[in-house]
Structure 1
Amino acid sequence: MSSNYPLPSKAALVQQFVGKTLKDIPLPAAVIDIAAVRRNCQRMSDAVKDLGFDFAPLVNVHKTAEIASLQIGDDPEQARILATNLSEVENLLPLFLEHQKEGKQVNVIYGVPVAPSQVERIANIARILGRRGGIIRLLVQHASQIPLLQQISRLSGYPVYVYIHVDVNDEPCGVRPGSQPFQDLFSQIERIVLEAPMSIIGPGLYCHLEHRSFMLDPTKLIGPLTQQLSGLLKASPVQNIRFSINATAAIFRVSELLTGEPDDENRESVNALRETLHSISQADSFIEVRDGDYVLMDLNTLARREVLGLGKAASPDLRDVALTILTEVCCIYTSRGQSGLILEEDDRGEALITIGSSTLGEKTSQDYGGYGVISHWNIAPGLRGALDVFRSFHASSVTPECAVLKWDGPLEFVPQLQLGQRLRVYPNDAGEASEMFGWYFVINSSLTGREDEIVDIFVRWRG
C-alpha cells in the first residue's frame, strides 16, 4: 500500500544538496541535527536499561528509516518499534529484514485497534516478518475484534500477539478493567490461546494515559507512570503478563529517583512507584515503555525540563532540540517595536517570516506563550554568551502562511533583522512542523567548523 505514495529519490536529493550549507538550500526547509538525535536516543536507551524495562520507540514524529534505526539502537537480540500507521511498518520492512538477517528478532507493535479494512495489509506484514521469526502485536478493545485476529493469522500463516487496550483513567479509548466487556474479552482470548495456540498468543495489557498539561513538578510527572502500572496490575486476572505503557517525560529521572533517597516533596510519589514496581516483579510480569517525542525533542517536550535534570530557573538546553525549520525574513515593520512601541534610534521593530500556522500550528506554548522560538543562529554572534535562547525573537502571532516575530529580550540587545535574512525556528511540536516537508536536510553540529553543512538527506514517508 505504501507504494501508492511514491517518495522522492534520496540518491537524487543527496547528489543535489549534500555538501551545501544552510545558506544555500531552498526555503522553507526542515533541518535535523543528527548529533542531537543521537544524544536523545542514547539518553532514553540508558534510562530504560537502568530501569530494566523493554523499550518500544515510536516513529510517527519523524517518519524516517534512518532515525528509526538510531532509535532501535545496538541491541543484539531485539529490534522493537511501535507504529501508529501501517505505512510506517511497510516503509520499515527493508530495515526489519536487515535486522533479521543479523539474527535479531523484530517485534512490531501496531498501536491502533485492528479494523476490518486493515486485515489484509496486517496479514501481509505478519507474513513477511514471520518468515524469519518476527512478530506483530495488535490491540483489541472488544470481543468482536477477535475474529479479525484469527483471520490475520490464517492469511499470514503465523500467530499474532495480542494486547488488550485497558482504560485506567476514563480515557477516550480502551476497556475498563473489571467490567463485563473486559472479562468477556480476556476469557475469549484465553480460550483461543488454549484451543488454538498457533493463531493467537497473549494477552498482554496495553495502556495509554494522556498527559493534558506540561507538568513541571516531578511528583506529578511520576504519577501517570504509577497510575498506568497500578491500573494494569489490578486489571490482570493472571500472573506473568506483559504491561505496555506510554512513558511520561519522567522516565529520564525515574531511575535516579528510585535509587536515591527522595526529598520530602517527592517521597510519597516515589514510594508509591517503588511499591507498584515491586508488586509487578512479584507477579512475574514485565514492563514495556514506549515514547516518540524524546527523539526530536521539540519545545513542548523540553518544557518538561525538570525531568531532564534542569531546575525551573535553569535555561533549557535547546541543543537537544533536533528539528528546526529554516525560513527567512520577508518583511520588516520599522514602525512597530516591542509591545507596539516605536524603537527610537534605529527603528528595529517586528518582522515577518515565511512560515505560519500550517507549519508552526495554531496553539501557543503553555511554557512561553509563542508559536516557536528563533534560534540565535545567524542573528548576532554576541547573543550566544549574553542571553539564553528564550530571550530572543519568538513567533507571537500567525496566519496560515506567515508569522510575526517579536523580541523577548532586553531592548539593549535587540538585533536588527534584514530582509531575506535566514532564521531557524524551534517548533513547539516537531511532528506537526515536519508534516509539511518531504525530506529533512541533515546537519551535524558536532563537526567543528562545518556545523551548517548538509551531510545527508532523510526522506520522510507519506501516510
Structure 2
Amino acid sequence: MASNYPLPSKASLVQQYVGKTLKEIPLPAAVIDIAAVKRNCQRMSDAVKELGFDFMLLVNAHKTTEIARLQIGDDPEEVRVLVTTLSEAENMLPLLLDYQKDGKQVNLLYGVPLPPSQIEQIANISRILGRRGGSVRLLVEHTSQIPLVQQIARLSGYPIYVYINVTVGGEYSGEVSGVRPGSQEFQDLFSQIERIILLEGPISLAFPGFYCHLDHGLDIFEPSHDFDAPRSIRPFSTQLSGLLTASPVQNIRFSINATTAISHLSDILSNESEDEQMRERVEALRGTLEAVSVSQADNFIEVRDSIYPITDLNTLAKKAVLGLDRAPGQDLDDVALTILTEVCCVYEGRREGDVLPEEQEGALIALGSCTLGQEPSRHYNGYGLVSQWGMHHEMRGLLDSFSGFQVARVDLQCGVLVWDGPVDLIQPLHLGQRLRVYPNDAAEASESFGWYFVVDSSRLGREDEIVDIFVRWRS
C-alpha cells in the first residue's frame, strides 16, 4: 500500500540539501533538531527503566524510520511498537526485520479496533513478522470481532495476539471506544477468548492482556474544562487503578498511554504543591504505583507515548501547569520541531505605544492554520511561538518559555505576529526575514510536510547546517 503514495527518495533530497544551511533551503520547511530528539528519547528510556515498566513506542507523530530507531534504542530487550495506520506498519517492517535479524523479539500492535476491510493486509504483516518469531497484536472490544481475528490467523499461518480494549473513565474521559469491565459485553468477550484458547490452544489467538487509552491532553483545549495539575495526573492514575481491579486473571499485561506523565513521574511524585487537590492526586498516584509494584510479580505494565521524541508547546504547557518547567527559555530546548517560514509584511507603526494587542503586532508570516491548526493554545492563547533563532539580540533568560513573538491570529496560509513581553525588548523584524516557529501540536504541524530538514544544535558553530533528511511516510 505504501508504494501507491510515492515521495522523493531520501538519496535525492540528501544530495540536494545536506551541507546547506537553514538560510538556503526552500520555505516553508519542517526542521528537526536531532540533538533534542536524542535527549528526549534518552529521558524516556531512563524513566521507564527506573519505574520497571515495559515501553511501547508510537510513530504516528513523526512517521519516520530514523526517529523510530532512536526511540527503540541501541540494544533493546524487546521491540514493542504501536501503529495507528497500516501504512505505518508497512513502513516499519524493514526496521523491525533488522531487529529480528539481530535476535530481538518484535511485537507490533495495531492500535485501532479491527476493520474487516484490512484483514488481508494484516495477515500479510503477521506472516512476515511471524516467520522470525514476531507477532501482530490487535484490539478487540466485541465478540463479533473474534471471527475476524481467527480468519487473519488462518490466512497468515501464525496466531494473533488480542488485547481487550477497555474503558475505565467516566462520561468526560475522552474515550471513544472500549468495553467496560464487569459489563455483560465484557464477560461475553472474555469468555469467548478463553473458550477458544482452551479448545484450540494458541493456534489462532493468544491473549496478552488489556489495553486502555485516556487522553491526557484533552483538557488543555476543551472549552468546558480548565486545564489544571490535578486533572492532568488523573488519566495516568485512573488507567492503572482501573485495569488492576478489572482483570479477572493474573499474569496479564496492562497497556496504558502515559503522555507527559511518565518521563516526569519522579518530579510529579516529589511535587510539594500547596494546592490541596493536587496533593490528594499525587498521594492517590503514589498509592496506585505501590499497588502496581506489589502486583508486578503477576502483572506487567506497558506504557506508551507518541509526542515525546519531538515534543511541542502543548507538552511544555502541561509541564508548566504541573510546576515542572525549568528556567526561562530552557524548556524550549526540548522542542525538536520548528517550522521555518519568512516575514512577508512588517507592521512597524503597530509596534508603537503601550501594550494594547493591536499596537504590538509585528509582522505577517507565510504560515497559517493549515499547519498551525484552527484553535489557539488555552495556556498562552497563541497558535505558535517564534524562536529566538535569527533575532538581533539573544533574550534567553529574559523571557519565559511562552514570551516573545506569538502567532496571534491565523487564516489558512498566513499568521499575524504579536509581541508578548516587555515593550522595551521588542525585536525589530524585516521583510523576508526567516523565522522558526514552535508549533502547539507537532504531529498536526508535521502533516503539512513530506520530509524534515535535520539540523544538530550540538554542533557548535554549525547549528544551522543540514546534516540529514528524514522522509515522512504517507498515512
- Normalization by structure 1: what TM-score? 0.93
Deviations 1:222-278 (A, max 9, x none): 3221211111122211111100001031212324565x6967756543443344344
Letter paired with 2:356: S
Distance change (3 Å), C-alpha of 1:382 and 1:72: closer
* In structure 2, C-alpha distance between the alignment counterparts of 1:395 and 1:311, rounded to whole Å: 22
* Alignment-derived partner of residue 380 in structure 2: 368
Residue aligned with 1:137, SS: strand
Deviations 1:42-72 (A, max 9, x none): 1111111111001111100100000000011
Letter paired with 2:243: L
From 398, 401, 413, give the equivalent of 2:425.
413
* Alignment-derived partner of residue 252 in structure 2: 241
Letter paired with 1:43: R
Name stretches of at least 5 consecutive residues in structure 1 with no aligned partner.
344-348
Distance change (3 Å), C-alpha of 1:6 and 1:311: closer
**Superposition deviation, residue 193 in structure 1:** 1.2
Task: Answer whether contact 1:253 1:309 (CA < 8 A) is retained.
Answer: no
Residue aligned with 2:165, SS: strand
From 194, 209, 213, give the equivalent of 1:208.
213
Distance change (3 Å), C-alpha of 1:261 and 1:8: closer
Residue aligned with 2:132, SS: coil
Task: Answer whether contact 1:10 1:458 (CA < 8 A) is retained.
Answer: yes
* Alignment-derived partner of residue 233 in structure 2: 222
* Alignment-derived partner of residue 154 in structure 2: 154
* In structure 1, C-alpha distance between the alignment counterparts of 2:473 and 2:322, rounded to whole Å: 30
Letter paired with 1:333: Y
Deviations 1:110-145 (A, max 9, x none): 110111101111101000001111111100110000
* Alignment-derived partner of residue 112 in structure 1: 112
Name stretches of at least 5 consecutive residues in structure 2 with no aligned partner.
221-225
**Superposition deviation, residue 413 in structure 1:** 1.4
* In structure 2, C-alpha distance between the alignment counterparts of 1:257 and 1:308, rounded to whole Å: 7
Residue aligned with 1:234, SS: helix
Task: Answer whether contact 1:305 1:316 (CA < 8 A) is retained.
Answer: no
Distance change (3 Å), C-alpha of 1:271 and 1:7: same
From 295, 302, 315, give the equivalent of 1:282.
295
The RMSD of aligned alpha carbons is: 2.1
Letter paired with 1:213: D
From 353, 362, 368, give the equivalent of 1:350.
362
2:236 is the alignment partner of 1:232: no
Task: Answer whether contact 1:31 1:324 (CA < 8 A) is retained.
Answer: yes
* In structure 2, C-alpha distance between the alignment counterparts of 1:355 and 1:156, rounded to whole Å: 46
**Superposition deviation, residue 295 in structure 1:** 1.2
* Alignment-derived partner of residue 190 in structure 2: 186
Task: Answer whether contact 2:328 2:397 (CA < 8 A) is retained.
Answer: no
**Superposition deviation, residue 308 in structure 1:** 8.0
Residue aligned with 1:150, SS: helix
Letter paired with 2:219: S
Residue aligned with 1:387, SS: coil
Task: Answer whether contact 2:259 2:304 (CA < 8 A) is retained.
Answer: no
* Percent identity for Structure 1 against Structure 2: 65
* Alignment-derived partner of residue 223 in structure 2: none
2:35 is the alignment partner of 1:35: yes
Residue aligned with 2:209, SS: strand
2:291 is the alignment partner of 1:291: no
Task: Answer whether contact 1:222 1:254 (CA < 8 A) is retained.
Answer: no
Distance change (3 Å), C-alpha of 1:194 and 1:358: same
* Alignment-derived partner of residue 284 in structure 2: 272
Distance change (3 Å), C-alpha of 1:416 and 1:275: closer
Task: Answer whether contact 2:451 2:472 (CA < 8 A) is retained.
Answer: yes
Task: Answer whether contact 1:189 1:203 (CA < 8 A) is retained.
Answer: no
Distance change (3 Å), C-alpha of 1:63 and 1:261: closer
Deviations 1:284-303 (A, max 9, x none): 11100010111111000111
Deviations 1:139-168 (A, max 9, x none): 011000001110111111111110000011
Name which of structure 1's ranges 105-114 and 383-392 shifts more when overlaid on structure 2.
383-392
- Normalization by structure 2: what TM-score? 0.91
